[in-house]
Homo-oligomer: A and B are copies of this chain.
Amino acid sequence: MPTYTPPARDTRFVLHELLRIGDLGELAADGELIDTIVDEAGRFAAEMIAPLNRVSDEQGCTRHSDGSVTTPSGFRPAYRAYVEAGWGTLALPVEYGGQGLPHVLAAVVEEYLDSACHAFNMYPGLNQGAVAALVAKGSEELKARYLPKLVSGEWLGTMALTEAQAGTDLGLIRTRAEPRDDGTYRIIGEKIFCSGGEQDLTDNIVHLVLAKLPDAPEGSRGISLFLVPKVLPDGARNAATCGAIEHKMGIHGSATCVLNFDGATGWLIGEPNAGLAAMFIMMNVARLSCGNQGLAQAELAYQNAAAYVIERKQGRAAGSTAAADSLIAQPDVRRMLMDARAFTEGMRALVAWTALQIDRSHRAPTEQARAAADQLVGFLTPVIKGFGTDKGFETAVAMQQCFGGHGYIAEYGMEQIVRDARVPMIYEGANGVQALDLAARKLARDEGQVAERFLALVEGTCESAGAGVRFIALPLREAVHEAREAGRFLVATAKADANALGAGSYAFMHLIGTLALGWMWLRMAEIAAGRESDPFYAAKLATARFYAKRWLPECAALTRKIEAGSEAMMALEPDQFLRG
């Protein structure tokens, strides 16, 4: 069974040495407090939550004939302990009972909990987005009634967006909201894929539901967001019930529900027909969380694979005459482990750096600085989600591979990690949607201005890099040139070819992801340079070197794919795709 050790040394490196979180003006956080929280969160994740992971996969959730749902054994006491410790409240507003600490800290805790038990953390995880949407768009009355209990975790919020015929394209939803005289709405429709849509952890569940008002415009401009509680303010049960739970490939402990709204009472959040904007507040929080899940699954898989290949004796090291040496002597096993280190440590840095930009977007001293930070978060969100979950899954698969046949059987738990790590590539907007968001909304819409600002940031670090890290600064600078070229190609060809952005979007997302992690590795290498006598820093430098030689060469290949354009990709008629 997999074990989990919080990577606290690496987290401290990121927070203190890379981000210098104690030294950030308005954003500064008390270094000792931060360390205490990180250590406590690590202990909680490893001791209280990690033991639930296996059993939650085996048991899954059970729906009873009355529509109630039982979560796996251990989830209820663990969730009570979670609420008592206040783990969900770290970065939430003080005004509603939150602790008002930096998002970057909440991101660390989220990573630890996702590693420990992704399925468990689905329940409180989605609540963060619901709170954000309600804070931004809810009426004072709704905020006063719901936020304190959602912030404390006494209740949990969910997202009810998808319908059978409307997934990626929410403009196609059919759920209706009929206004009543008392200002509430009657919600009628069926939603699918609602994570935590029903559960036995909290007395009330607050669904944020997309629905259409009568005479709403067609498509995504006619969607409104409603708050629909499971239990109404007067204590009566609302007509929002779980009709079924899905049988999924993984995260069995997370109840993925069909929700039936049979004339349920709801309250409008924000303006009529402006639900998509409110929904995106939730969604962007959730997308960053997905990237963290990719990191967390990769970290869990990496730790167990490293321990296994050190222990397991098969074959011989170069020049060895032993009967057998540890598998870690094999270069190809090293390749997989080094890839995993390159991804997890680079991604941990990128997630934290981006979370810090969220804090900057709220608290930086000038409006301009806040807007600039917000734009960078917007630019990197689809990259963290799409690239981060692709690589998280890829890492999980490679770590499973380190186990040979033992990786394929349930006993060792690696196959569960692979099944669980698969879902963040799909939900909260499939990764192809992330790529299109990046290429169309984040790159082409402003003709590449924010993209150029990001590339210039990376280039600036390359420019000023010391001689000791030239091994990565030089190829990274080449990669910046490739990415700039690729971005310009996309913006330029999009004017004449409506398929150009879509055709190059996925490669562009991976190009920016590879570059962003490369940037983190350059910065980490700069900190480590000259401190090689400490094995921690020596490992950082070696991994940066590995990244430069083994990951950055992808940038040229990705650029060539982008420059291939859309022609060959779009050449076939639909019928030609069918076999016979």
Chain A residues with a Cβ under 8 A of chain B: 5-10, 162, 165-169, 171-172, 192-193, 218-219, 246-250, 256, 299, 303, 306-307, 310, 313-315, 318-319, 323-324, 326, 328, 330-338, 341, 393, 397, 400-401, 404-411, 415, 418-419, 422-423, 425-427, 430-432, 435-436, 498-499, 501-503, 505-506, 535-536, 538-539, 542-543, 545-546, 549-550, 553-554, 556-557, 560-561, 564, 566-580
Which of B310, B314, B338 has a CB less than 8 Å from the CB of A169? B314
Closest residue of B by beta carbon distance from A546: B568
Q: Say whether A306 contacts B578, CB under 8 Å.
A: yes
Q: Say whether B335 contacts A506, CB under 8 Å.
A: yes
Q: Say whether B549 contacts A568, CB under 8 Å.
A: yes
Closest residue of B by beta carbon distance from A505: B332
Q: Say whether B401 contacts A432, CB under 8 Å.
A: yes
Q: Say whether B538 contacts A576, CB under 8 Å.
A: yes
Q: Say whether A549 contacts B561, CB under 8 Å.
A: yes
A–B complex contacts, Cβ < 8 Å, 30 sampled: A5-B579, A7-B580, A10-B579, A165-B313, A169-B324, A246-B410, A248-B409, A249-B418, A306-B577, A307-B578, A310-B574, A318-B498, A330-B502, A331-B570, A332-B435, A332-B505, A333-B432, A335-B503, A335-B569, A338-B568, A397-B422, A405-B426, A408-B422, A408-B427, A415-B422, A536-B576, A538-B571, A538-B572, A542-B568, A549-B568
Asked if A172 meets B576 with Cβ closer than 8 Å, knowing A405-B193, A554-B557, the reply is no
Residues on B with C-beta less than 8 A from A576 are 535-536, 538-539
A190 CA / B409 CA spacing, docked (Å): 18
Asked if A410 meets B539 with Cβ closer than 8 Å, knowing A332-B506, A553-B557, the reply is no
Query: Looking at A330, A400, A567, which has the most chain B CB atoms within 10 Å of its CB?
Result: A330
Shortest CB-to-CB span from A490 to chain B, Å, is: 12
Q: Say whether B561 contacts A415, CB under 8 Å.
A: no
Residues on B with C-beta less than 8 A from A557 are 553-554, 556-557
A189 CA / B564 CA spacing, docked (Å): 57
Which of B247, B535, B580 has a CB less than 8 Å from the CB of A410? B247
Residues on B with C-beta less than 8 A from A333 are 432
Residues on B with C-beta less than 8 A from A577 are 306, 310, 328, 337, 341
Known: A249-B419, A318-B498. 19 other contacts (CB 8 A): A168-B314, A169-B313, A192-B405, A248-B410, A303-B578, A328-B577, A331-B503, A334-B570, A335-B569, A338-B568, A338-B572, A401-B425, A401-B432, A405-B426, A415-B422, A535-B573, A539-B572, A546-B569, A550-B569
